[in-house]
Amino acid sequence: MTAIEYAVFRILRLFRKLPFNVLGIGNQKVIFTEYFKDFEKVDAVKGIFGEKTGEVLSHLKVELSWIFGYMYVDGSDGHLVISKGYLNTGNKTDIYLDLIHELCHVKQFLDGRELFDPRYDYVDRPTEIEAYRYAVQEARRLGLSEDRICLYLRTEWMGEGDFRRLAKSVNVLIR
Ligand SMILES: [Zn+2]
């Protein structure tokens, strides 16, 4: 098993509880630690919340939703909203990195920061750049190639110019 295979294998273990009744009608609210296993032991997560990691994750509400798309932090109360479709069919490494990204936003929310500051475009917003930088750092630690990280950063709703700006902000080389 190569280092990267081992890293991905370890990520897959974090999703052991998937799927449970994930196709149920309506949105379900669960607690983060009930659904995602051992995230409180992941160094990247401990790097976000420090000593409060277990406490924050055991209180963090997760809404499993039929929204189209990926996941986001609700700016009203800081809970995490995740698309059921994405959880069911998305690439697990991408989902893991998205969770790391969103947990950065949870921390920002807890620190009283504005997550959706309308003065900035999405790719220029300081809270986004910070969360993307942290996710990219974790992707590199896992051993993902720059091309694979580019693939992760590129989303279908992001224009080419925005994608390039974001990649530059987080120091990812586009080839
Ligand atoms: Zn974000």
CA of 46 relative to ligand 1 center, distance in Å: 19
Residues of the chain with pLDDT > 90: what percent?
Answer: 69
Q: How confident is the model at residue 136 (pLDDT cuts 50, 70, 90)?
A: very high
CA of 116 relative to ligand 1 center, distance in Å: 9
Q: Which helix (H) or strand (E) holds 146?
A: helix 146-153
- Separation between Cα atoms, residue 50 and residue 47, nearest integer Å: 6
Whether residue 128 contacts residue 87, with contact meaning beta carbons closer than 8 Å, is answered with no
In angstroms, the Cα distances linking 166 to 134, 145, 161 are 13, 17, 9
pTM for the model stands at 0.91
Return the pLDDT at 24: 59
CA of 73 relative to ligand 1 center, distance in Å: 8
CA of 7 relative to ligand 1 center, distance in Å: 23
CA of 101 relative to ligand 1 center, distance in Å: 6
Return the pLDDT at 26: 75
CA of 2 relative to ligand 1 center, distance in Å: 30
Residues that place a CB less than 5 A from ion ligand 1 = 128, 131
Strand 28-31 to 61-65 pairing: antiparallel
Query: Which of residues 100 and 67 earns the better pLDDT score?
Result: 100
Q: Name which of 12-16, 41-45, 120-124, 145-149 the model is least confident about.
A: 12-16
